[in-house]
């Protein structure tokens, strides 16, 4: 029988731009249900996103944020009055969801992969959905 299970997770971000490792949260939710399938981590915000990247050296996460600022600096060329268009562009570059297969309740992440909530306009209270399709 198809298993459809959604969990809404709350987090608080502390910086304007920040990558928060949410791998353990996703792993626990997948592990509870067991079985095979995919999990979708979905971010319901337009100035934040989610990506998978290296979990070993925290310098990689800093380099990512550095380069995203370089690619999309806050600039007065943007029309959007709230002044956070750079965050919206970054959200689209990163994407609003990641999909990860799992087998026997175990995520098929590579050794160095972590799942990161990407804050581009914090600090804020944020949420994300963890949707199991088993």
Complete DSSP assignment for 50-107? EEEEE-S-HHHHHHHHHHHHHHS---TT---TTS-HHHHHHHHHH-SEEEEEEETTEE
Task: Please state at what angle helix 58-71 crosses helix 85-94, rounded to 10 degrees.
Answer: 120
How near is the Cβ of 110 to a second copy at its closest, in Å? 3
Choose the stretch contacting a second copy; rule: CB under 8 A; options: 10-18, 25-33, 81-89: 81-89
Residue 11 vs 89, nearer CB to a second copy: 89
Binding site for a second copy (CB under 8 A): 1-2, 4, 6, 35-38, 40, 42, 44-46, 51-54, 57, 59-60, 62-64, 66-68, 71-72, 77-82, 85, 88-89, 91-101, 103, 108-110, 112-113, 129, 131, 133-134
């Amino acid at each position: 029988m198809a298993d459809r299970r959604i969990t809404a997770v709350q987090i608080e971000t502390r910086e304007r731009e920040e990558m928060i490792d949410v791998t353990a949260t996703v792993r626990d939710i997948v592990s509870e249900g067991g079985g095979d399938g995919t999990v979708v981590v979905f971010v319901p915000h337009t100035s934040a996103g989610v990506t998978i990247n290296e979990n070993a050296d925290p310098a990689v996460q800093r380099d990512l944020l550095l380069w995203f600022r370089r690619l999309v600096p806050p600039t007065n060329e943007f029309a959007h009055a709230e002044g956070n268009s750079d965050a919206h562009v970054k959200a689209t570059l990163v994407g609003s969801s990641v999909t990860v297969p799992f087998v026997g309740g175990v995520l098929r992440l590579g050794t160095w992969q972590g799942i990161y909530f990407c804050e581009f306009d914090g600090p804020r209270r944020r949420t994300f959905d963890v949707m199991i399709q088993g």
